[in-house]
Structures are given as structure tokens and as C-alpha cells.
Amino acid sequence: MLQIKPILSMLLRSKSSPLLLLLQIILSVAIVANASFIIHERLALMDRDSGVVEQEVFDFTMYSFDPSVDLVQQQHKDLQLIRDLPGVKSATFSSMTPLSGGGWSSSFTIGTSEEDERSAPNSAMYYGDEQMVDTLGVKLIEGRNLRPEEILPTFTDSGVKGIVSKAFADQAFPDESAVGKVIYNGNLGEEAIEIIGVVERLQGAWVNSDNLEYSVIIGVELTNAFMRYLVRAEEGTFTRLKEQIPEVLHKDQKNRVIQNFTTLTEHRTSVYRDHELMASVLSLMVVLLLLITSLGLTGMVMFNIERRTKQIGTRRALGATKRDVVSLFLVENYIICLVGGVVGGLLAIALGQQLMQHYDLPQLEWQYPLATIVGLVIVTTLAVVFPATKAAKISPAIATRSV
């Protein structure tokens, strides 16, 4: 551009105020780039698909305090009563609820002898019946679903059938189909689970876990005094069903506490609350930093206009057009902004590496400092154009004023 060299000379000779602004920009870029990256990471985490039709599924808990009740028989009756309610598509008992932040997990052993024994990843463990797959709405992509007669009353060393998530299958049996394979819940040979199906996706309960995508559903009954049920129902029926379910179940057997009706959508909101808060706070910080930077830029331009009124008038007298005056301020601030942006970008990468080392964060991608610099150029333009346009209106006649 026409005026870069003399403007650069001017900036180098009037160090103090551009230097302060430069420091502000460097720090802003370093912080904004990393904050934007963290925000994006958090939003990406929150955006992950659980594999479950969350808008249709809810859970509730039941505590039976009457020791005389036959829990096995009662559970069969309860499930039938729930499934018969209008709007209910399917229902099952379960050891856990996806995205709830709590549940059961287990590590598994694979192999046929001690020589080829290896570990499968630690996974969420869903105890459920033949309606578990339908209740969660997970998509079976290989093998078949559990059959009612395959649901065993207790965990035995053989005969238990299971369905695994594709992530688990790929990890445990990378080069072959998982269907027909056996995994052991504990040591080799103990509590064998035969894999009969694979679902496309099913997350566990712990969203911050690296093993979130690894899940195993097993066809084993759970009949404790404290139970959890999962229900899939038509959308819009939740409010009615959370009244009706306790009503029909209490009618059949009143000595129990039925509560904690929670939709999967509510579980998701709750389990990702920290991430959402972090993203919101960081977003606010990014906006504030950009605002402060733009105010700094506007302030400096206004200060310079005040300080250089006569100089601007003289430039106009010497032939500068209004556009030349605006571009003088723009170029001047673009130089500060780009130098600050590049140094700030390098600092952002250094800061990102520190964050990566000390906290559980992935490496900052180079696009973030670059996008921050682009954003900064836009902010600079907006912050500078208005006062500079005002400066361009300074009359050239100001040059002949003696004071």
C-alpha cells in the first residue's frame, strides 16, 4: 500500500501508545484463540450423538420396601403394566441410564487360553431385557436382538447373551466380526457373554470418559429392592406418564417409592452443565476481550486525531483526500493489529502447548489463531473507520491556524 513505509516510521518513532495497544492485542489474540478453541471443543463434545432417541426416552427409580413382595414376579407385572399404558412404545428395567453421570461399568477379558488372553476396553454395562434395544432406540447393524427366553435370572458362567456398541466391537475385535465371539466379565472363563448383535452407537453414562462410546447390553435380570426403569414413549406424553406410571404401579402394589422421573434430554443438559457453563463463560470472555480491544483501538485513534488535528489539516492542505486520511489511520492500525496478531498467534500456540501439557486439552489447531487475526482485522476496521471518518472531516484550513 502507498503509505506503509512512512506510517511504519511514524509508529516506530512514537513508541509508547502503539506499544501498549500492541501488548493488548498480543494478549487478546493469545487468549481469544485458545478460548475459541476450548469453546469449540466443548461444543463438539456436547454435540456428540448418544445413539439414543433422547426425545422419547425417560427413566425413573423404584424402591420396594415390603420384604414380603416377590421382586421377580412383581417386576414382570410392573413392566407389563407400564407397556400397556397408552403412548408407551417399550420399557425395560436397567442397571443404568445413558448420559446420567452414574451407572455400572466393567472390564472384560477376551481369548481362548492364557496365551492369547487380552483385555477389552472398560465399558458401560447395561443389564436389560429384550426391549432394551427398542427402548433406547439404538440401531442394530449386525446380528440380532435379545429374545425373551434368553434373559437369564442371574449372571452365570455361560449362556449369557449380549449386544455391544460398534465402538466396543471395533476395539475388541478389530479385524473380524464381533458377532459369535465371547467376552468374559472378569477373568478368562468366568461369566462368559456371547455377543449376538452390534448396535451402531450407544454411549455410557460418563461424558468425560474416554470410554464413553463403549457399551455392552446383557440379557440378565436385575431384581433388587432399588430398581431403575427406562421407558420409551411418544413425544409429548412424558408429563402424563409420570403421573400415570406411579398411579398404576401403586394400585398393584403400594409399598414402594416411585420417583426421579427424568427425560434423557434433562440428563443430557445436566451432565453437560459444566461444559455449557465453561463455553458460556469463555464466550463472554472472548466478546469482552474483543470489545476491550476495539475500545482500545477507537480510543487510540481518537487520541491521535486530537493530537494530530493540525497534522491532518496540513496533510489535507498538501493534497490528501478524505479517503487518504481514513486510510492513514486504517493502515496505521492494521500494522499494529497484524504485528500484534502474528506475535499473539505464536503466543497462542505456545500457551496452547502449555495448556495441553498441564490440562487434558488437545493441541491448539492453527486455524484458531488465524481466525482470531481475521476477526481482529474486522474489529480494527470497525473500530477505526468511524473516528477516522470524523478525522477526514477536519478542515484543511486548520493548517493556517496559529494556535
Stretch that binds other proteins, among 59-67, 124-132, 256-264, 318-326 (CB under 8 A): 318-326
Calculate the alpha carbon distances from 194 to 121, 155, 159, 166, 183 in Å. Answer: 16, 12, 7, 15, 7
Cβ neighbours around 272 below 10 Å, total: 22
Q: Sign of dihedral through CA atoms 293, 299, 301, 303? A: negative
How do 118-127 and 215-218 pair as beta strands? parallel
**SS3 per-residue string spanning 109-137:** EECCCCCCCEEEEEEEEEECCCCHHHHHC
Segment 13 to 72, residues that bind other proteins, using CB under 8 A: 13-14
Span of 51-59, 83-91, 191-199, 392-400 interacting with other proteins by CB under 8 A: 392-400
* Residue 387 C-beta: closest distance to other proteins, Å: 19
HSE value, Cβ hemisphere, 13 Å, CA-based, for 336: 31
Choose the binding region for other proteins from 63-71, 150-158, 192-200, 309-317 (rule: CB under 8 A).
Answer: 309-317
Which region, judged by CB under 8 A, interacts with other proteins, from 234-242, 252-260, 374-382, 389-397? Answer: 389-397
Q: Strands of 57-64's sheet, edge to edge? A: 88-94, 226-233, 57-64, 256-263
**Site for other proteins, residues 2 to 21, rule: CB under 8 A:** 2-3, 6, 9-10, 13-14
In the bound complex, what is the minimum distance in angstroms from residue 317's beta carbon to other proteins?
Answer: 5
CA atoms of 87 and 102, how far apart (whole Å): 28
Touching other proteins, residues 230-289 (CB under 8 A): none
Cβ-based nearer residue to other proteins, 15 or 144 = 15
3-state SS of 263-326 is: EHHHHHHHHCHHHHHHHHHHHHHHHHHHHHHHHHHHHHHHHHHHHCHHHHHHHHHCCCCHHHHH
Whose Cβ is closer to other proteins: residue 17's or residue 122's? 17
Q: Using the minimum distance from each CB to other proteins, give the nearer residue, 42 or 316.
A: 316
Q: Select 10 or 351, whichever has its Cβ closest to other proteins.
A: 10
Least Å distance, CB 10 to other proteins, is: 4
DSSP-derived pairing of the beta strands 182-184 and 192-199: antiparallel
Beta bridge partners of 199: 140, 165
Among 103, 315, 348, 368, binds other proteins (CB under 8 A): 315
Of 319-358, binders to other proteins (CB under 8 A) are 319-324
Closer of 299 and 396 to other proteins (Cβ): 396
Stretch that binds other proteins, among 166-174, 231-239, 284-292, 314-322 (CB under 8 A): 314-322
Question: What is the number of other CB atoms lying within 10 angstroms of the CB of residue 286?
Answer: 20
The DSSP bridge partners found for residue 148 are: none
Selected from 112, 253, 353, 395, the binder of other proteins by CB under 8 A is 395
**Contacting residues for 250 by C-beta, under 8 A, at least 6 apart:** 256, 258
Cβ distance to other proteins smaller for residue 13 or 251: 13
Identify the residue among 171, 283, 311, 389 touching other proteins (CB under 8 A). Answer: 311
Give residue 162's region: left, alpha or beta (phi > 0; psi -120 to 50). beta
Comparison of 161 and 316: residue with beta carbon closer to other proteins: 316
Neighbour count for residue 14 (Cβ, 10 Å): 12
Name the grid cell of 228. 431403575
**How many whole angstroms separate alpha carbon 78 and alpha carbon 92?**
10
- Is residue 400 at the binding interface for other proteins, with CB under 8 A as the rule? yes
Q: How far is the CB of 397 from other proteins (least distance, A)?
A: 4
The CA distance from 159 to 156, in Å, is 7
Q: Which of 107, 171, 209, 314 binds other proteins (CB under 8 A)?
A: 314
Among 316, 326, 334, 384, binds other proteins (CB under 8 A): 316
Determine the Cα–Cα distance for residues 227 and 61; give it in Å rounded to an integer.
6
- Cβ 329 to other proteins shortest distance, Å: 14
**Residue in 46, 188, 317, 339 binding other proteins, rule: CB under 8 A:** 317
3-class secondary-structure state, position 88: strand
For residue 14, the minimal CB distance to other proteins (Å) is: 5
Question: In the complex, what is the shortest distance from the CB of residue 294 to other proteins, in angstroms, rounded to a whole number?
Answer: 25
- Give the count of residues interacting with other proteins (CB under 8 A): 27
What letter represents residue 311's amino acid?
Q
Return the range that interacts with other proteins (CB under 8 A); candidates 169-177, 214-222, 284-292, 390-398: 390-398
List of residues contacting other proteins (CB under 8 A): 2-3, 6, 9-10, 13-14, 310-311, 314-324, 395-397, 399-402
